[in-house]
Structure 1
Amino acid sequence: MKVSALAILSALSPMLVGLSATAAEIDGNWARGDGNAKVVIAPCGGKICATNTWIKPGTPKEKTGDRLIMDIKQSEAGSYSGTAFDPQRDKSYKITVTVDGNSMTTKGCIIAGLLCKGISWTRIN
């Protein structure tokens, strides 16, 4: 079973109630390490959304505008964990996000944590 990058971002990735200043570390524009996607991570309602802003032509099962809705909490500086929901695929994931300056790693798991995938990201302007 293939886990999509958006599902992993699983961006994030990542909203904390009232959006704390530490959540801003995760906010912004990110490019996926394989060069196939770019996302913007920003508050959406009381959560954090990662929205595809660009998808490399020919990349299957992903499109611009797809959104991952994350309910994550910061566990320590630069580390977040919680759940993510992918409405395009009607799937939920456990997610961890680690932000270190302009680098981010996301790890999403499905099937009770038996199938996980990690993705690296670089902050872009």
Structure 2
Amino acid sequence: MGRIFLMALAAFAVPASAAAPASIAGRWKTDDGKGIVVMAPCGDKMCGRIERLLIKQPAGGQLDERNPDKAKRSRKVAGLQIYWDLAPNGDGWKGEGYSPEDGRYYTAHLRVKGNTLTMKGCVAVFCRTVTWTRMA
């Protein structure tokens, strides 16, 4: 009986090649130096929120003026969640993203290497890749 249990358990063991990708948790400075984004757990997945903007803002703060949903254009960009449903996918993470700069939603592919976070955002077949730097 014990031998059968061990064989069944071995069948469900996770192979070493399926190891979880490097964590994206932490504070990241955007490639253009315009902001800091915090990646943190939200439920059983990861999310990203703009912690603060590093650029001069209009009085009252930068608004999400380019959002395709007119009802959301009056919300502030600082504090805005821009990544959600991020889950491990191969050696990286995959989920949904939003860019307040151009008001586009996209599929996000993220990968950590050392102190850099490379993000590839795709809308249909058009993709853009940026690299962010981990903040201390």
The two structures have a TM-score, normalised by structure 1, of: 0.64
Q: Does 1:76 align with 2:90?
A: yes
CA contact (8 A) 2:27 2:36 kept: yes
Residue 90 of structure 1 deviates from its aligned partner by 8.3
Can you list the C-alpha shifts for 1:64-94, whole angstroms capped at 9, x where unaligned?
10102322332333x222x3154x7986421
Can you list the C-alpha shifts for 1:85-112, whole angstroms capped at 9, x where unaligned?
54x79864211111001111111111x2
Q: Does 1:96 align with 2:109?
A: yes
CA contact (8 A) 2:117 2:132 kept: yes
Letter in 2 for 1:35: G
Give the CA RMSD over aligned residues: 3.0
Can you list the C-alpha shifts for 1:7-46, whole angstroms capped at 9, x where unaligned?
xxxxxxxxxxxxxx94661000100121101011001123
Structure with the larger helix share: 2
Bigger shift: 68-77 or 98-107? Answer: 68-77
Larger RCO: 1 or 2 (CA < 8 Å, sep 6+): 1
Larger Rg: 2
Letter in 1 for 2:131: S
Structure 1 stretches lacking a partner, 5+ long: 1-20
Counterpart pick for 1:107 among 96, 120, 123: 120
Q: Find the counterpart in structure 2 of residue 57 from structure 1.
A: 56
Q: Find the counterpart in structure 2 of residue 117 from structure 1.
A: 128
Q: Find the counterpart in structure 1 of residue 4 from structure 2.
A: none
Structure-2 change in CA distance of 1:73 and 1:49 (3 Å): closer
Alpha-carbon distance between aligned partners in 1 of 2:48 and 2:21, rounded to the nearest angstrom: 13
Counterpart pick for 2:23 among 8, 22, 25: 25
Alpha-carbon distance between aligned partners in 1 of 2:52 and 2:20, rounded to the nearest angstrom: 26
Residue 60 of structure 1 deviates from its aligned partner by 7.3
The two structures have a TM-score, normalised by structure 2, of: 0.60
Aligned pairs, how many? 101
Structure-2 change in CA distance of 1:85 and 1:35 (3 Å): closer
Over the matched positions of the two proteins, sequence identity in percent amounts to 30
Structure with the larger strand share: 1
